Chains A and B, each alone.
Chain A
């Protein structure tokens, strides 16, 4: 596997003076690849994303993004979390424009880009609204818009759709997959939902153990223009789902034995 986009080598992390949460984490990603990390809840999946975003220092090992080792916050990636991190006192338009404004892009140029992205994500007419006036699905789309507006080559997503109902989630899956196919952005996606992982990814990495580390990797060969609606009935999809499920069960026993 080529690692021209992202490479983690033997990464070790933990909180404060506590024990290691993850250790011996090595993984790599190439451009335009969609990779999911699945693992038992609380096992350290988000911690790995925080290492890539540079929000949390590593205790050992290296994180290399586009050939450069990450020290400090990595502003070259987009980051979307499960929580609502839109600024509530700003309109949707202002929120989505924020990354551009912070990078010194002028107002007019930023506004044009925002308008384009809002249309692409079916948020026309929501630009002047405040986050509190949006439904859950619209908020998610606004967050997605904000994390991709400066066209980072890599989007980090931490259970971004966990709070949505099943129908909305399917809609967001479809939109996410088709949007990144168009923008040619890579995605590193954290979830505990096997179905979601197999549905969206080109590759699923299972992590487990204490401290956590990758225990298995499953390639998902459906390509970028997969049929999000119909895929779930595909026998190959079901068997891949089972394969990830078995790997996850194994990872879970590992976690239990170690703790």
Chain B
């Protein structure tokens, strides 16, 4: 008797599965489609209002921006400048990141040394980074070295604190457990301290990677003759709205792509943090 009671609702469930799944699928597509619709509507409004409501001289129009963009893509302007931006950001990120890991690890590992040096780093941190640009121009000129230096500086500060506190605030009980298990100082450094700091560094990538690009673009706008930032500055300097917008949209697309990429990498690297709740 009780068996029938159990079976009955299962059959009902079976019948409901198909429509429920379809509903779920529809909901999954609803969001992206809705967003796409908003973009299309905005572009159409822009196209229609340009030259009618606002002066086309200032805002251009999507069709013209697209034309400009296609022209750049064809003649290599886009790649010439984008590759330069990427190269500077990559090198700057690598240098700044490596320094942050190294310094953060050393200072985080020794409480006394950390207490001694950390205030100096914090005081430089509180300085607006862009105020250092003129000084850097003096030191590095206006080419790639300047972009790399500014990028490294920005990335260093974004990653230093994550590493520093990650190493310093390692759970004491993890270290004690490791010691009783027979772990040496080195074992604790590589198997406990470093991974627990990397958790924070990886979590910080969402901020530090886009900021590396921002730093390079700013440097390019201020002083340079190549790069996407330079492209923005050059076109706006010539009052070429189509060109300015085409360069900006390129940056926008790169920004979104990089953000998505970092999200995927972060998720893969922190896979172990996701708790699939298991019931006994």
Contact = CB atoms under 8 A, between A and B. Distances in A.
Contact of A75 (B171, B174, B181): B181
A133 B191 contact: no
Interface of A: 53-55, 73-75, 77-79, 81, 83, 85, 87-91, 98-99, 102-103, 130-135, 137-138, 146, 150, 168
Contacts of B276: 133
B203 to A, nearest CB: 13
A134 B280 CA distance: 10
Contact of A81 (B177, B187, B274): B177
Looking at chain B's contact residues, the main secondary structure is helix
10 contacts: A55-B179, A73-B179, A75-B182, A77-B180, A79-B180, A81-B177, A87-B174, A89-B272, A99-B182, A133-B278
A90 B184 CA distance: 18
B280 A137 contact: yes
Looking at chain A's contact residues, the main secondary structure is loop
Interface residues of B, number: 28
A103 B195 contact: no
Given A77-B180, A150-B182, 13 more contacts: A55-B179, A73-B179, A73-B180, A85-B176, A87-B192, A89-B196, A89-B272, A99-B181, A102-B182, A102-B184, A133-B278, A135-B280, A150-B181
B278 A132 contact: no
A80 B76 CA distance: 64
Residue of A98, A103, A138, A150 with most chain B CB atoms under a 10 A cut-off: A98
A85 B174 contact: yes
Given A88-B273, A130-B271, A79 B177 contact: yes
A54 B187 CA distance: 18
Contacts of B196: 89
Interface in B264-280: 271-280
B141 interface: no
